[in-house]
Amino acid sequence: MLISQLQHTGLEEKLASTSQDIWVLLPEITIVITIVLLIVFDLIFKKNKSIGLSVIAFVGLAYCFALTIQQWHEIEASKSLMSGLLDINRLSIFLKGGFIIGLSIALITAIRSDKRQEDFFKSSEILVMLFGLLLGASFMTMSSNLLMIYISIEVVSICSYILTGLTKGKKKAEAAIKYLIYGAVASAIMLYGMSWLYGFTGTLNLTDQSFASALNEIPQLPLSIACIMVMGGFLFKLGAFPLHIWSPDVYEATPTPIVAVFSVLPKLAALTIILKFVNLVNVPSIDWELWIGILAIASMTVGNFSALWQKDIKRMLAYSSIAHAGFLLVGILAFSSSGNQAMLFYGSIYLIMNFAAFFLVQTFERQTGSTSFESIKGLGIKIPFISSLILIVMISLTGLPPTAGFNSKLYIFSALWESYQTGGHSILIWVFVIGLLNTVIALFYYLKLPYLLFFKKPPQELQLDNKEITDGLLGTLFVLPLLLLFFRSDWLVGLMNSINFELWIP
Amino acid sequence: MVHLLSYIVFIPLIAAVLVLLTPRAYKHLYRVLTILGLGLTLILIIFAISGFDTAVQGAINSESNLQLVEKTEWFSISLGSMGKFSVDYFVGTDGLNIGMLLLAGIVLLIGAIASWNIKDKQKAYFGLYLLLSSSILGCFVALDFFLFYLFFEFMLLPMYFLIGIWGGPRKEYAALKFFLYTLVGSILILIVMIGLYNSVYDPVKTAIEAGYEANQVEQVQQLVQDGTIKSNQIVKSFNMIHMADADNYIPGSFLHKSSLAQIFGQPARWIAFLALLIGFAIKLPAVPFHTWLPDAHVEAPTPISVVLAGILLKVGGYGLIRTAFVMFPDSAYHYSWLIGFFGMFAIIYGALNALAQKDLKKLIAYSSVSHMGFVLMGLAAMTVEGISGAIYQMYSHGLISAMLFLIAGVIYDRTHDRMIENYGGLASKMPKYTVFVAIAFFASLGLPGFSGFIAELMVLIGSFKSSAVPAWMPIVATTGLVLAAGYYLWTMQRMFFGKFWVKDKNWVESLTDLNPREYLMLVPLVILIFAFGLYPSLLLDLINNSVESLADHLFQFRK
């Protein structure tokens, strides 16, 4: 009888299609299996676990990456999974691939980090949390349902809180509590906003036709309030103004490889959610261009000006990531497929730049035991090669040729200009001019690193370990794409051309 | 010779790589490699000029005007419904840049010889110097805006390190100030570049994309203007020559000639022109954007000052002609009074400042500001004489200011002091040096027979004749010449004439007359300054056709 009931409601079909969809989630399942293996391995073996754990982690990542590539070739159009909970397309697959590469670089950074290596691979906790974060970020790129968005953001957030608090130290405890409190409040507000949207439309599914049609009937004020609340949660994860205050403390207190992950994965995942949200909740009563334009200008300017005064490299990079969040929002602001493509290009380059930057900062940290600007004075003469690499990364973060950072700025602002030219909002020209002039402010603090490295004399004799060559080789591997993609940016853009952004533009 | 310009641009780069690869044990080879590399470059430049056909005539906005062209597609990116854009590796010469190329070749080689005494961190120094050389040369020959911008920006970084590491006491401040000021300028240029390439299409590539023959350019231009060729078939272009042709602007784009679009309440084309003007005026530098220059000059080591004054400033002037004037002739005419005024103001203001300086290098730096004012004034006149004068002034000032900074370097090398008041009657102690100083000073103040005279005369004649600037501007500017005579002769009198006296007794020993290496640098410059002063046609013949077609190009917009 039960079965016949199921047939009646079509549930059986849904179940059948859901079990089919499981296979599309194979990369995510791989991540879960890796997590389980890590925990089990940690429980079984008592000593010398670091090699086993790192092998499991890397094999898991490699297999996951292979599956993602396979998915890229299989899935061309957007595909709805799990009865509308998830929505997989090439954009999410591309980002998942990027996330896996990023996490691998972070793990390599961790391996290179001398004494902290024991913290990382001594037991499985940190690795499990990092993989959990990867899982959450992957689901963030795919979710098209408010509930799923909330759950995936929470997965990422909880893993982040634990990662911040996991290592010892008073500063860390403070940062973790700060992060947790801010995060919990942001999530609660976002959830409240989502409940409003659900109340208005009667559906949680953003891509649903009934959602779009119901939106048009909602009065402006309640809809705006709901959207502001929901966006609050997204902006918190993006680390954009005005919800950026947590990031400098967290960045300073957390071990460098984890910060590298924090600064990229949740950010780009949140960006795709914002992209989906603003394009699907696109009703005339909300002036998204104005709002996002203001957010972008504020993020860039506040991030850049705050970065000027920092005395710690990691704090400086935290503020720089706030500024970059502003630049990334410009891609959404253009509301065109070329804008979204430019945003993805910027995001990919940002991923490479940031992981490379943190890797190189880590090598200095290993030598000097500190990440303050003071500590790196005059190191450029002692370790010239790594210092030159960091110069290239800083030039790329500023956005000057001949690095891919320039191309990403060029494309994102070209898309903005195009939108303005075809009758866009007048805020766009302000974003255009202020955004580009922000580069000058950015140069001021990015240049501080090479300035201290090359122009200053080292204060006292410093004992250097002789691991420069490996660091140099790995660093070159991470920095080379930045130069290569300046000269041949069409390679990456060609890959992105097959991503259909039109889906999000009604 | 095929790829001649590529050789010219990339030989210094190859030399830089060689310097980096040479082990430290052979560090005496660094400077030899540098001089060899730049010497070879200069030979190739002279070879290029000897093959330069002065009879070639063509519109400033057509590729028929160019020689030694190399053009291959670098990359192109598809923008979906917005068509695609392509970036070319596109270099070539015409009258506007051939003189600059020669100047760059000469000054870079002399700068390399002046670097002979650099002892500190030689590998980095010569590597950076060669990188700088490569990007300067590239900047002069690049005709694709993307390529131009790449070279233009890439000059900043080597310069920043060259001033910041090998400079004087306040080197860090000066280096950062230089970098930030010029970066503001570059960003303004970048803003216009983005606007331009989104407005301009490549007719040849669009023809191919839309299924026409490559030679049906005019037909394709017509089809694009009336909208038959849709936006998804348009190939946007960074080509600076195409950007100069009003027919290559996409209809409806902001920078189209008949566009009514406004930015900040002003026509978009005017705003774009102003942004380019300010961007390059910072580099030139024009008052009030000049304050980085005295700092940079005072702190920079002698060879870097030579390169900075001799060539880097000219990149500003050249860029102004190549982009702002050629691409926005209508706006240039609209703003000609403003440019003329700033030119005149710089002439007077720079000269007055120079009068007040106590540091020899600062005096020369302010005299540079004053002389660069003539470039602006000549351009504002928009006549053949004015523009030729402006280019001639850039060329001549490149040689003279290089010599002036070398002279300042000679005295600084010996005593590590450049204060004018600390010396007196040097003529009796260093007679040969005094002769060269006198030549450089007289050349700079515009005495007939020297190249500076020709340039300034042409600028003044050009602007008197012009309807684009009011006649009182050149009249006021003429007083700048008197002031120049004032500060140079006064300096001459204070430092070299009268009884021998120096502030510090220990200096007496070290104040020896010129050595052979210094002759090697100064004598060729003196010969060149005389040669271009007595036979102006040496340069004018090269640039004449291009300048005439530029003047025609500008003339069509005059009321």
Residue B422 domain flag: yes
User: CA–CA distance from B538 to each of B50, B99, B549 (Å)?
Assistant: 11, 10, 19
Residue B1 pLDDT grade (very low, low, confident, very high; cuts 50, 70, 90) = low
Question: Which residues does chain B have within 8 Å of residue A433's beta carbon, measured at their own beta carbons?
Answer: 191
Which of B19, B21, B75, B254 has the most A C-beta neighbours within 10 Å, making it the best mutation to test the interface with A?
Answer: B75
Residues 6+ away with beta carbon under 8 Å from B492:
B437, B438, B441
Question: Which residues does chain B have within 8 Å of residue A499's beta carbon, measured at their own beta carbons?
Answer: none
- Please report how the helices B4-21 and B122-141 are oriented relative to each other, as an axis angle in degrees rounded to 10: 170
Distance (Å) from the C-alpha of residue B164 to the closest C-alpha of chain A? 7
CB contact under 8 A, A439 and B187: yes
* Cβ-count burial B235-254 (b if 16+ within 10 Å, e if not): bbbbbbbbbbbbebbbeebb
Cα separation, A304 vs A323, in Å, equals 6
Residue B8 domain flag: no
Q: Pick the residue from chain A with its C-alpha nearest to B171.
A: A455
Q: In this structure, what DSSP letter does residue B2 have?
A: T
Return the structure tokens found at A164: 């911040």
- Please report how the helices A337-368 and A468-487 are oriented relative to each other, as an axis angle in degrees rounded to 10: 160
CB contact under 8 A, B154 and A401: yes
SS3 annotation, B143-181: CEHHHHHHHHHHCHHHHHHHHHHHCCCCHHHHHHHHHHH
Could you tell me whether strands B84-93 and B67-78 are parallel, antiparallel, or unpaired per DSSP bridges? antiparallel
More confident: A3 or A287:
A287
Q: Pick the residue from chain B with its C-alpha nearest to A384.
A: B124
Q: Residue B192: what residue type?
A: V
Assess B77–A contact: CB distance below 8 Å, yes or no. Answer: yes
CB contact under 8 A, A493 and B77: yes
What does the pLDDT average to over B444-451?
A: 90
Distance (Å) from the C-alpha of residue A370 to the closest C-alpha of chain B? 24
Length of chain B measured in residues: 559
Assess B232–A contact: CB distance below 8 Å, yes or no. Answer: no
Distance (Å) from the C-alpha of residue B436 to the closest C-alpha of chain A? 36
What does the pLDDT average to over A346-357?
A: 94
- Confirm if B221 and B205 have CB atoms less than 8 A apart: no
Question: Which residues does chain A have within 8 Å of residue B74's beta carbon, measured at their own beta carbons?
Answer: 487
Residue A336 pLDDT grade (very low, low, confident, very high; cuts 50, 70, 90) = confident
Of A440, A455, A493, the CB nearest to B187: A440
Task: Give the pLDDT confidence of B10-57 residue by residue, as tens digits.
Answer: 999 999 999 999 888 888 889 999 999 999 999 999 999 998 888 888
CA-wise closest residue to B398 among B136, B21, B8: B136
- Confirm if B44 and B8 have CB atoms less than 8 A apart: yes
Residue B344 domain flag: yes
Q: Pick the residue from chain A with its C-alpha nearest to B146.
A: A401
CB contact under 8 A, B150 and A402: yes
Question: Which residues does chain A have within 8 Å of residue B79's beta carbon, measured at their own beta carbons?
Answer: 338
Could you tell me whether strands B266-267 and B262-263 are parallel, antiparallel, or unpaired per DSSP bridges? antiparallel
Question: Which residues does chain A have within 8 Å of residue B191's beta carbon, measured at their own beta carbons?
Answer: 432-433, 436
Distance (Å) from the C-alpha of residue A334 to the closest C-alpha of chain B? 13
Assess B187–A contact: CB distance below 8 Å, yes or no. Answer: yes
Of B76, B165, B195, the CB nearest to A417: B195
Distance (Å) from the C-alpha of residue B484 to the closest C-alpha of chain A? 36
For chain A, which residues make up each domain, given as ranges? 287-506
CB contact under 8 A, B187 and A337: no
CA-wise closest residue to B418 among B519, B524, B294: B294
Question: Which residues does chain A have within 8 Å of residue B156's beta carbon, measured at their own beta carbons?
Answer: 400
- Confirm if B327 and B243 have CB atoms less than 8 A apart: yes
What does the pLDDT average to over A224-251?
A: 89
Contacts of A212-219 with CB under 8 Å at 24 or more apart are A212/A280, A212/A506, A215/A281, A215/A283, A216/A283, A218/A283, A218/A285, A219/A285
Residue B354 domain flag: yes
Task: Give the pLDDT confidence of B470-493 residue by residue, as tens digits.
Answer: 989 999 999 999 999 999 999 999
Distance (Å) from the C-alpha of residue A434 to the closest C-alpha of chain B? 11
The strand pairing partners of B249, in sequence order, are B200
Cα separation, B414 vs A206, in Å, equals 77
CB contact under 8 A, B149 and A493: no
Task: Give the pLDDT confidence of A152-208 residue by residue, as tens digits.
Answer: 999 999 999 998 888 766 777 888 888 899 999 999 999 999 999 999 888 888 888
Of B74, B172, B254, the CB nearest to A455: B172
Q: How many domains does chain B have?
A: 1
Task: Give the pLDDT confidence of A109-144 residue by residue, as tens digits.
Answer: 888 876 655 567 777 888 899 999 999 999 999 988
Of B75, B149, B172, the CB nearest to A489: B75
Find the chain A residues whose C-beta atoms sit closer than 8 A to any C-beta of B: 336-338, 341, 395, 400-402, 406, 410, 413-414, 417-418, 421, 429, 432-433, 436-437, 439-440, 443-444, 447, 451, 454-455, 487-490, 493-494, 497
- Confirm if A358 and A440 have CB atoms less than 8 A apart: no
CA-wise closest residue to A359 among A404, A395, A323, A317: A317
User: How high is the pLDDT of residue B505?
Assistant: 83
CA-wise closest residue to A93 among A76, A72, A77: A72
* Cβ-count burial A88-127 (b if 16+ within 10 Å, e if not): bbbbbbbbbbbbbbbbbbbbbbbbbbeebeebbbebbbbb
Cα separation, B265 vs A456, in Å, equals 48
- Confirm if B73 and B86 have CB atoms less than 8 A apart: yes
Q: In this structure, what DSSP letter does residue B201 have?
A: B
pLDDT at B195 > cutoff 60: yes
Residue B81 pLDDT grade (very low, low, confident, very high; cuts 50, 70, 90) = low
User: How high is the pLDDT of residue A1?
Assistant: 44
Mean of pLDDT over chain A: 87
Assess B278–A contact: CB distance below 8 Å, yes or no. Answer: no
CB contact under 8 A, B153 and A444: no
Question: Which residues does chain B have within 8 Å of residue A497's beta carbon, measured at their own beta carbons?
Answer: 78, 80
Classify B551 as helix, strand or coil: helix
Q: Residue A196, Cβ neighbours under 10 Å: how many?
A: 17
Domain that holds residue B554: 335-559
Give kind and range of the element (H or E) at residue B70: strand B67-78
Mean of pLDDT over chain B: 90
How remote is the C-alpha of B428 from its chain's centroid? 37
CB contact under 8 A, B77 and A490: yes
More confident: A252 or B526:
B526
Cα separation, A316 vs A304, in Å, equals 9
Question: Which residues does chain B have within 8 Å of residue A400's beta carbon, measured at their own beta carbons?
Answer: 153, 156-157, 183
CB contact under 8 A, A429 and B179: no
- Confirm if A502 and A338 have CB atoms less than 8 A apart: no
Q: Residue A422, Cβ neighbours under 10 Å: how many?
A: 12
pLDDT at B254 > cutoff 90: no
Residue B322 domain flag: no
Assess B154–A contact: CB distance below 8 Å, yes or no. Answer: yes
CA-wise closest residue to B323 among B202, B199, B239: B239
Return the structure tokens found at A456: 């200053």
What does the pLDDT average to over A401-412?
A: 92
Question: Which residues does chain B have within 8 Å of residue A440's beta carbon, measured at their own beta carbons?
Answer: 180, 183-184, 187
- Confirm if B388 and B381 have CB atoms less than 8 A apart: no
- Count A/B contacts: CB-CB distance under 8 Å: 83
- Please report how the helices A384-398 and A337-368 are oriented relative to each other, as an axis angle in degrees rounded to 10: 150
Assess B197–A contact: CB distance below 8 Å, yes or no. Answer: yes
Assess B292–A contact: CB distance below 8 Å, yes or no. Answer: no
Q: Residue A3, Cβ neighbours under 10 Å: how many?
A: 9
Distance (Å) from the C-alpha of residue B72 to the closest C-alpha of chain A? 14
Q: Pick the residue from chain A with its C-alpha nearest to B189.
A: A436
Cα separation, B62 vs B56, in Å, equals 12
Residue that is written with structure tokens 């591309």 in the block: A94
- Edge-to-edge strand order for the sheet containing B84-93? B67-78, B84-93, B235-237
Cα separation, B471 vs B460, in Å, equals 10
Cα separation, A147 vs A153, in Å, equals 10
Cα separation, A84 vs A86, in Å, equals 5
Cα separation, A498 vs A494, in Å, equals 7
Of B80, B171, B261, the CB nearest to A338: B80
Task: Give the pLDDT confidence of B106-136 residue by residue, as tens digits.
Answer: 999 999 999 988 888 888 999 999 999 999 9
- Please report how the helices B171-197 and B268-283 are oriented relative to each other, as an axis angle in degrees rounded to 10: 150
Angle A178-A182-A187 (CA atoms, 0-180°, nearest 5)?
145
Distance (Å) from the C-alpha of residue A354 to the closest C-alpha of chain B? 21
Residue A286 pLDDT grade (very low, low, confident, very high; cuts 50, 70, 90) = confident
Which of A392, A417, A504 has the most B C-beta neighbours within 10 Å, making it the best mutation to test the interface with B?
Answer: A417
Residues 6+ away with beta carbon under 8 Å from B552:
B59, B60
pLDDT at A323 > cutoff 90: yes
| B253 Ramachandran zone, left/alpha/beta (phi>0; psi -120 to 50) | beta
Task: Give the pLDDT confidence of B346-366 residue by residue, as tens digits.
Answer: 999 999 999 999 999 999 999
Residues 6+ away with beta carbon under 8 Å from A138:
A27, A28, A31, A92, A96, A99, A269
Residue B500 domain flag: yes
Its pTM stands at 0.93
Query: Taking a contact as any Cβ pair under 8 Å apart, which residues of chain B between 79 and 108 contact chain A?
Result: 79-82
pLDDT at B524 > cutoff 90: yes
Q: What is the DSSP string of A28-70?
A: HHHHHHHHHHHHHHHHH--S--HHHHHHHHHHHHHHHHHHHHH
Classify A333 as helix, strand or coil: helix
- Confirm if A413 and A432 have CB atoms less than 8 A apart: yes
